Amino acid sequence: MSGEWLRRWRRGGPAERPRGAPAAGPGPPPPALRYRRPKFLPGGEEEAPRGGRAVRGAGPERPLPWGAGYAEVINAEKSEFNEDQAACCQISVRRREPGLEEDEEWLILCSTQFLTGHYWALFDGHGGPDAAIIASNYLHYCIKQKLEEIVGGITEAQPPMHLSGHCICDSDPQFVEEKHIHAADLVVGALENAFQECDEVIGQEMEATNQTGGCTALAALYFQGKLYVANAGDSRAILVLKDNIVPMSSEFTPESERQRIQHLAFLFPKLLDGEFTRFEFPRRLKGDDVGQKVLYRDYFMEGWGYKTVEKADLKYPLVHGHGKQARLLGTLAVSRGLGDHQLKVIDTNIEVKPFLSCIPKVNVFDFALHDIKEDDVLIMATDGLWDVLCNDEVAHVVRSFLAENRTDPQRFSELAKCLVCRARGKKRGHQWMLDDSHEASYDDISVFVIPLHNREED
């Protein structure tokens, strides 16, 4: 099932292939992707001059769905390119006739019934900008395709056991009811499968064009009255509502996924090739520690214990460091994301990919259960923002900015710029500083501000 779509794509692809996406097919490998900024930024897809780290924002010329705001800034010379990418669009989901075979595409194309979703996504690249660019080109197509595959199940009050809708077994309804399966569970499944398919697409594209690198992916999908936020990586989405803040994602880092990662190394020790130790220690061990009992954790432990240090424990730890310094295999700062199929630990043959997951955790927010107020917004941002501003600080900026800017039609764009400016800070000498004289973010910073009140209007 998976990958089939890519093969069809490569044979010529669906009619709606995104403009600008490389047309792949038999023959020589496709050319490497051209670096670009998101299409909806004014001033074209070129990079802004880097010197002053000017903040770029979406303008009134190309309004985003729902009047959402977007802004970004490049890093402080950490990498050649801004490795963040962004995408947003409507997703039109065609309703297939029950029992229609997948290869009867002409029938699908004749279909006139649609469901519409709205999609926003951020991708934070590492090891080069390419994976993030491919992901921003393809993920919404993967989601669209996965939703179309199950649309017959979504439009029922409860998804039927058989997608055809025909009940060939009297016990069907009862069983499905027992499991409490709702349409939302199908959308969650579609997002999980879409991320996996997009990862496969990236792997094949990157191999074909001899590119490397990976990216995190944070995608928000508004579909049939619910907001789905799917996250794989260390970007973050929060709802800033009038009276509270609702986290819509959690971060996946070597620290937060330590037990999963260590467990895999326990099951397949060869993945470490004798170069790393599976155990976690609070600090790197040294020769003097051998024979001593030191604090450690193994895969099954949430708590800590003491172990007598052996020589093998002096190897570099599989997961090491704390907070932003935490690394997987000394290499990656995130434990989920797309790409990195070719990534190896430097100077070794150890592959990082087996320890990475491309599966997002999906959180669902049901608007039917909440009274959404005029200034309620979804904030999505890459780690460049959250490294220096916590949820409460962001919510404070959001609420005070919107209260002071009631009438500006560009208020959500301006708010996105304001948030990026806050996190970037100001240059003093060679340093970027926050207002409170803490160090500002040196990373790429990208922010969506998505108003939630008038979401049905367009």
**Which residues of the chain form contacts with its own copies (CB under 8 A)?**
1, 149-150, 153, 159, 161-164, 168-169, 171-172, 175-176, 178-179, 181, 184-193, 196, 267-268, 282-283, 286, 288-289, 292-295, 297, 300-308, 322-323, 357, 359, 361-362
Query: Tokens 């297939």 — which residue?
Result: 96
Opening angle at CA 184, ends 9 and 215, nearest 5:
50
Closer of 113 and 308 to its own copies (Cβ): 308
Please, which residue, 216 or 357, has the CB nearer to its own copies?
A: 357
153 vs 213 by CB, closer to its own copies: 153
Nearest to 72, CA basis, from 86, 92, 88, 51: 86
Amino acid at the residue 208 = A
Minimum CB separation of residue 378 from its own copies in Å reads 20
Closest CB 361 distance from its own copies, rounded Å = 8
> At closest approach, how far in Å is the CB of 283 from its own copies?
4
Minimum distance from residue 163 beta carbon to its own copies (Å): 4
- Whole-number Cα distances in Å, 262 to 162, 300, 305, 312, 445: 39, 9, 16, 16, 31
Q: How far is it, in rounded angstroms, from Cα 256 to Cα 216?
A: 15
Residue 50 CB, shortest distance to its own copies, in Å, is 33
CB closer to its own copies out of 267 and 403: 267
Residues sharing a CB contact under 8 Å with residue 124, sequence separation 6 or more, in sequence order: 83, 84, 132, 215, 216, 233, 234, 235, 382, 383, 384, 444, 446
Do the Cβ atoms of 37 and 46 come closer than 8 Å?
Answer: yes
| Nearer of residues 125 and 159 to its own copies, judged by Cβ | 159
Shortest distance, position 297 Cβ to its own copies, whole Å: 7
User: Of 114 and 306, which has the nearer Cβ to its own copies?
Assistant: 306
Instruction: Give me the least distance between CB of 193 and its own copies, in Å please.
Output: 6
Q: What is the spatial distance between Cα 447 and Cα 420, in angstroms, rounded to a whole number?
A: 7
Contacts of 147 (CB under 8 A, 6+ apart): 91, 93, 115, 117, 154, 187, 190, 223
Which long-range contacts link 35-41 to residues 24+ away (Cβ below 8 Å)?
Answer: 35/81, 35/129, 35/133, 36/133, 37/72, 37/82, 38/70, 38/72, 38/85, 38/86, 38/87, 38/136, 40/64, 40/70, 40/88, 41/70, 41/72
Kindly state the smallest distance separating residue 224's Cβ from its own copies, in Å: 14
Residue whose pair of structure tokens reads 């010379």 in the numeric block: 77
Judged by beta carbon, residue 192 or residue 383, the one nearer its own copies is 192
* 3-class secondary-structure state, position 359: coil
Measured from the CB atom, is 225 or 282 closer to its own copies? 282
Q: In angstroms, give the least distance from the CB of 286 to its own copies.
A: 7
The nearer residue to its own copies, 195 or 386, going by C-beta atoms, is: 195
- With respect to its own copies, which residue has the nearer C-beta, 230 or 416? 230
Comparing CB distances to its own copies, the nearer of 130 and 197 is 197
Tell me if residue 412 falls in helix, strand or coil.
helix
**Closest CB 372 distance from its own copies, rounded Å:** 24
- Record the tokens describing residue 269, joined without a space: 């020790």
Across the strands, what pairs with 89?
Answer: 119
- Shortest distance, CB of residue 357 to its own copies, whole angstroms? 8
How far apart CA 392 and CA 373 sit, in angstroms, is 19
Q: Compute how many other C-beta atoms are within 10 angstroms of the C-beta atom of residue 434.
A: 16
Q: What is the largest CA-CA distance in the chain?
A: 75
